Each structure stands twice: as structure tokens, then as C-alpha cells.
């Protein structure tokens, strides 16, 4: 069972992923050819030579990027932590690296240290800052691994010593408190190499959490497959990395946006099963966050802020053999929360054996009438009566204060 031993991560439940790099300039298309894969992999999927791709740095001038405004917005959306791509697989550092001139401060006309700007904004607004770092894949470095390519002639040890380990040391030394390192695609990284990276992280920042994608079972929490949610509650600390549309980096042609209501349901479902939801935005080449992303997350943020008691610091809900047709449950000590997504005349929870002290609407505090009893099969139930105006309402939450510390569900009687 993975355990970060960091209470902030267990309580956070909702984070913001930011995928941003040179690929944002291409926006999913290079020399008239569009990628049908995720946009940040365009260099790999379209086989763009490194010497051609690196010229994009000469065009990178993100005049619309405002770290302060973005972090404040993330806080307003209800996010408790941010994970930013300090270096993605393309090999370009979004901070002022001293060990490689291929970075945003030295190779671009903007001459800005984007990571430093984010660090200061996160400190200002009390936001935890995590960093994505591609430790194995580096398509710009001749010795970095490349997915689905022959890497047998590469000197990965040389890459580790020349670039990967020195850059890890930089981002963990020069940018304040780093809450977590989000590694990715370890490929052929050996257990010894993963252990070397983990030791360096803990040597420099003992409280920095190491993601499961460091490889070789050495991560402190589990990351699911991208956009995949475990079917059942999962033991330990885990996170779902996910997108608002079909890509991570900006793609001007990807308009397959999830709506805010779908995102709210996914967030609560993940929280109910014990996980965190790390939801991505992909700024464009100027640093502007797509308007669709802002619209969706602002609506999600309204639900999160109104019902934060039922989201943050919640724990996984024990398995109930009955499927809920109207919504999802979350819980924390001595409380069970019913998130209602569909119209119902009353909220019914079957197969539950808890005693209830009170029921109330989170958004108003209004006390609600409830009945605790037994079904015709002899199983426990809780019925909560709704005010008339709520019988036609959706996307609200009911709190149940319990006499017991946790919800108690029983198997269906035969």
C-alpha cells in the first residue's frame, strides 16, 4: 500500500496539472501535418528532427502568461496543489537551467524564468507546488530515451550524469519548497537508477513526495493510467491524472471538452474511492489558458467551494453493494456526504447500518428531516426528505452526521 506520509496530499483531493512547453507553439500541427496523438508528443509522433524542433525556442515569447493570476485562479477553482512541467519529453527546460542552455531563460526572446514566477505566486497564495520532470525520455538529448525507438546505442548513464541528475538538483535547490516530483515514463530505467534519483530527491528535500512513475516500485503514491479511474476504492495514496479534452499540451483543433458537470462527477467519484484528481490545462504558445478550460473550471470551482466540507480531507467510502442512481458518497470522521447529481424526490441510501444524529444541506446549513429504518429484507436504510425546491434541483450535497466514525455497509442478504 503506497503511503506518502504527507497529510496535505491525503487531504488535497484536487490539483491542477499544467502542461506547457515549446509544443504549445505548434498547437498540434507542424508544416501542415496535424498530429492525431496528444499534442505534447508532436516531436515524437511526427519525427521532427531535434535541430529543427529546437528552433521553436526562438519564437517562444509568452506575453499572456501571468503566474500570479493563474495560481490565484487555481485557488478559486478549489485546487490545493499545482504540478508544472519543468521539463517534458521534448527536453526543453521551463526554468533557468545552468547545466543546459536549452531552457526558457537562455534560448528564448522572453528571457523569463517561468518556474521562478510560479514559485513566487504559489508562495503568495499558499499553494503547494509540484514539478513534473521527464527523467528518462529526452528527445533533444542524444542519450535520452525515446519511446518506441531503439535505445540500445544510447548512453543513458551519460545522460543521467550530464543532464537529468543536475537538473533535478537545480529544481530542488533553487525554487523553494517543492511538494512533489512527478516523474514520468521510466522506460528502461533500472532499479538502481530509480533509487539514485529517489535518494537525491530525499537528500535535498526530505518532505518532497515521489510519484509512482519514477518506476521500479519506488514511488510513494500510485498514479493511475491517464484518465483512468479504479473501479473500486483503492487502499493507500493515489491520484488520477486527467485532461479536460483529449490532449495535455495545447491543440488548437481539440474541442472535445468535458462539461463542468461531468468533471464534478468524476472528482467526487475519485474522492469517494480515496484518490486525488489532478486535472490538466494546456496554455497556448502565448501563455493564454483556453477560454473553455476557464469556463469549465470556474463552474467546477463553484461546486467545490460550496461543498468543500464534503471534498477536502475525505476518505475512501467502504464498498456498498448497491449502485447509487442519483449520485456519489464521500465521507470523513463521523460524517457521510451525499452528492446529488440527478433529480430525486428524496435521498435514499440502502444497506447502511449507521445511526444518524442530523442531516443538513451543505450550501445553506438547513436541517433536514430523515428516517433511519429497516427494509423489507431486514437491511438498514436512511431516507432524507428534501425541501420542495430541491426536488427539481441537481448538483448539491447533503451532510449526515453519524454516531459511528465511519459508514457501515453490509453485503446484500441472500
- The DSSP code sequence of 271-298 is HHTT-EEEEEE---TTSPPPHHHHHHHH
Arithmetic mean of pLDDT, 156-179: 98
- Whole-model pTM: value is 0.97
The reported pLDDT for the residue numbered 414 is: 56
User: Per-residue pLDDT tens for 331-342?
Assistant: 999 999 999 999
- Expressed in percent and rounded to 5, the helix, strand and coil fractions of the chain are 30, 20, 50
Strands 327-332 and 33-34: unpaired
Strands 396-402 and 335-340: antiparallel
91, pLDDT greater than 60: yes
User: DSSP readout, 352-373?
Assistant: B---EEEEEETTT--EE-EEEE
The reported pLDDT for the residue numbered 412 is: 62
CA distances in angstroms from 172 to 178, 213, 367, listed in the order given: 7, 18, 49
**Segment among 146-150, 364-368, 397-401 with least mean pLDDT:** 146-150
222, pLDDT greater than 90: yes
The reported pLDDT for the residue numbered 377 is: 78
Domains located in the chain, CATH noted:
7-310 (3.20.20.80), 327-402 (2.60.40.1180)
The reported pLDDT for the residue numbered 232 is: 85
Cα angle 29, 33, 34 (rounded to 5 degrees) comes to 50
Arithmetic mean of pLDDT, 256-264: 98
Among candidates 372, 405, 396, 408, which has minimal Cα distance to 309? 396
413, pLDDT greater than 60: no
Among candidates 185, 215, 224, 201, which has minimal Cα distance to 89? 185
Element (H, E) at 328: strand 327-332
Percent of the chain with pLDDT over 70: 99
Burial class (CB in 10 A: 0-12, 13-18, 19+), 138: buried
The reported pLDDT for the residue numbered 410 is: 79
Helices (H), 216-274: 260-272
Amino acid at each position: 500500500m503506497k503511503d506518502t506520509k504527507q497529510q496535505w496530499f491525503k487531504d488535497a483531493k484536487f490539483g491542477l496539472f499544467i502542461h506547457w512547453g515549446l509544443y504549445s507553439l505548434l498547437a498540434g500541427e507542424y508544416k501542415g501535418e496535424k498530429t492525431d496523438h496528444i499534442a505534447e508528443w508532436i516531436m515524437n509522433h511526427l519525427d521532427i528532427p531535434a535541430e529543427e524542433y529546437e528552433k521553436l525556442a526562438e519564437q517562444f515569447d509568452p506575453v499572456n502568461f501571468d503566474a500570479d493570476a493563474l495560481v490565484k485562479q487555481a485557488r478559486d477553482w478549489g485546487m490545493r496543489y499545482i504540478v508544472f512541467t519543468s521539463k517534458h519529453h521534448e527536453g526543453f527546460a521551463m526554468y533557468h537551467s545552468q547545466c543546459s542552455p536549452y531552457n526558457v531563460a537562455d534560448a528564448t526572446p522572453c528571457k523569463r524564468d517561468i518556474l521562478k514566477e510560479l514559485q513566487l505566486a504559489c508562495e503568495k497564495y499558499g499553494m503547494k507546488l509540484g514539478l513534473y520532470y521527464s527523467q528518462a525520455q529526452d528527445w533533444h538529448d542524444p542519450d535520452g530515451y525515446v519511446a518506441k525507438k531503439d535505445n540500445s546505442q544510447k548512453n543513458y548513464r551519460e545522460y543521467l550524469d550530464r543532464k537529468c541528475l543536475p537538473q533535478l538538483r537545480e529544481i530542488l535547490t533553487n525554487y523553494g519548497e517543492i511538494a512533489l516530483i512527478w516523474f514520468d515514463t521510466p522506460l528502461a530505467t533500472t532499479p538502481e537508477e530509480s533509487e539514485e534519483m529517489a535518494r537525491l530527491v530525499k537528500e535535498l528535500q526530505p518532505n518532497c513526495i515521489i510519484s509512482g512513475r519514477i518506476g521500479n516500485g519506488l514511488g510513494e503514491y500510485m498514479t493511475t493510467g491517464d484518465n483512468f479511474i479504479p473501479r473500486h476504492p483503492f487502499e493507500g495514496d493515489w491520484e488520477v491524472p486527467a485532461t479536460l479534452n483529449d490532449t495535455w499540451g495545447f491543440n488548437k483543433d481539440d474541442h472535445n471538452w468535458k462539461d463542468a458537470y461531468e468533471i464534478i462527477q468524476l472528482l467526487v467519484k475519485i474522492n469517494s474511492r480515496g484518490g486525488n484528481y489532478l486535472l490538466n490545462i494546456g496554455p497556448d504558445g502565448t501563455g493564454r489558458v483556453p477560454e473553455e478550460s476557464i469556463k469549465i473550471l470556474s463552474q467546477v470551482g463553484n461546486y467545490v467551494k460550496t461543498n468543500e466540507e464534503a471534498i477536502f480531507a475525505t476518505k475512501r467510502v467502504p464498498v456498498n453493494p448497491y449502485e447509487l442512481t442519483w449520485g456519489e458518497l464521500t465521507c470523513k470522521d463521523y460524517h457521510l456526504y451525499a452528492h446529488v447529481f440527478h433529480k430525486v424526490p428524496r435521498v435514499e441510501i440502502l444497506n447502511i447500518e449507521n445511526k444518524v444524529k442530523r442531516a443538513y444541506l451543505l450550501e445553506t446549513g438547513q436541517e433536514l428531516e430523515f428516517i433511519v429504518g429497516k427494509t423489507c429484507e431486514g437491511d438498514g436504510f436512511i431516507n432524507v426528505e428534501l425541501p420542495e425546491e430541491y426536488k427539481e434541483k441537481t448538483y448539491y450535497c447533503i451532510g449526515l452526521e453519524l454516531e459511528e466514525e465511519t459508514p457501515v455497509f453490509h453485503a446484500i442478504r441472500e
